[in-house]
Amino acid sequence: MGLNISLGIFINHDILWIYDKHILDFIMSKKIFITTPIYYVNAKPHIGHAYTTVVCDVYARFCRMMGYDVKFSTGTDEHGKKIEHSATKLNQNPEEFVNNISQLFKDLLPILNISNDDFIRTTEERHIKTVHHFWNKLQDNGYIYLGEYKGWYDIRNEAYFEENELIDGKSPLGGEVTYMVEPCYFFKLSAFEDKLLKFYEENPDFIFPISRRNEIISFIKQGLQDLSISRSTFSWGIPVPNDPKHVVYVWLDALTNYLTVNGYPENENQNNDEYWQNTLHFVGKEIVRFHALYWPAFLMAVGIKPPKQIVSHGWWLSEGEKMSKSLGNVQDPAKYCKLFGSDALRYYLLRELPFGADGNFSLNNFINRYNSVLANSYGNLCNRVISFISKYCNNTINKPLVETGDDINFIEQVKACINESFDNIRSYAFHKYLEKLENAVTLSNQYLDNQKPWLLRNSDIKRMEDVLYITLAQIYNITRALYPVIPISAKKVCNSIGMDCNVNSELPNTVTVRTPEVLFPRLDTNDISKFDVYASN
Burial level of 435, CB count in 10 A (0-12/13-18/19+)? middle
Over residues 492-500, mean pLDDT: 94
| pLDDT mean over 192-207 | 97
- Within 10 angstroms of residue 117's Cβ, the number of other Cβ atoms is 13
Paired sense of beta strands 39-40 and 16-18, if any: unpaired
Residues 6+ apart with CB under 8 A from 361: 47, 316, 317, 318, 319, 331, 352
CA-based nearest residue to 96, from 41, 49, 40: 41
The secondary element (H helix, E strand) that includes residue 207 is strand 207-208
As a whole number of Å, the CA-based R_g of the chain is 26
Q: Would the pLDDT of 224 be above 70?
A: yes
- Bridge partners (DSSP) of residue 20 are none
- Please report the pLDDT score of residue 11 as a whole number: 31
- 57 within 8 A of 35, measured Cβ to Cβ: no
Question: What percent of the chain stands above pLDDT 70?
Answer: 90
pLDDT band at 21 (very low <50, low <70, confident <90, very high): very low
pLDDT (tens digit, 9 = 90+) per residue, 373-390? 999 999 999 999 999 999
Is residue 407 within 8 Å of 400, Cβ to Cβ? yes
The answer to whether residue 16 scores a pLDDT higher than 80 is no
The pLDDT confidence band at residue 330, using thresholds 50, 70 and 90, is confident
Report the pLDDT averaged over residues 123-138.
98
| pLDDT given for residue 230 in this prediction | 96
* pLDDT value at 229 more than 50: yes
Supply the pLDDT for residue 319.
64
As a whole number, mean pLDDT of residues 323-344 equals: 82
Contacts of 222 (CB under 8 A, 6+ apart): none
CATH topology assigned to domain 367-512: Isoleucyl-tRNA Synthetase; Domain 1 (1.10.730)
Mean pLDDT of the 497-521 span: 89
Residue 17: the pLDDT is 39
Q: What CA–CA distance (Å, rounded) separates 498 from 507?
A: 9
pLDDT for 477 equals 96
Q: How many Å apart are CA 333 and CA 344, to the nearest integer? A: 11
**Which residue in 207, 198, 256, 262 sits closest to 229, CA to CA?**
256
Of the candidates 52, 49, 21, the residue with the CA atom closest to the CA atom of residue 334: 49
Indicate if the pLDDT at residue 25 is higher than 50.
Answer: no
pLDDT score, position 7? 39
Residue 174: pLDDT band (50, 70, 90) is: confident
Highest mean pLDDT pick, 26-30, 112-116, 423-427: 112-116
At 170 the pLDDT is: 86
Mean pLDDT value of segment 514-525:
86
Cβ atoms of 525 and 532 within 8 Å: the answer is no
- pTM beyond cutoff 0.75: yes
Alpha helix locations (H) across 229-362? 250-255, 257-261, 288-289, 295-301, 333-340, 342-352
DSSP notation for 89-136: HTT--HHHHHHHHHHHHHHHHHHHT---SEEEETTSHHHHHHHHHHHH
* pLDDT tens-digit series, residues 237-277: 999 999 999 999 999 999 999 999 999 999 999 999 999 99
Residue 422: the pLDDT is 93
If pLDDT is split at 50, 70 and 90, which confidence band does 327 have?
low
pLDDT of residue 4: 45
Q: What is the mean pLDDT of the chain?
A: 89
pLDDT at 10 over 90: no
pLDDT at 12: 35
The band of 112, judged by pLDDT with boundaries at 50, 70 and 90, is: very high
328, 347 contact by CB (below 8 A): no
Residue 532 confidence (pLDDT): 62
Query: Given this model, what pLDDT does residue 152 score?
Result: 82
Instruction: Among 76-85, 287-296, 298-307, 461-470, name the one with the lowest average pLDDT.
Output: 76-85
- How many angstroms separate the Cα of 186 from the Cα of each of 146, 248, 302? 6, 11, 15
CA–CA dist 248, 238 (Å, integer): 6
Among 264, 519, 230, 514, residue whose Cα is nearest residue 394 = 514
pLDDT at 175: 78
Instruction: Tell me the three state secondary structure of residue 474.
Output: helix
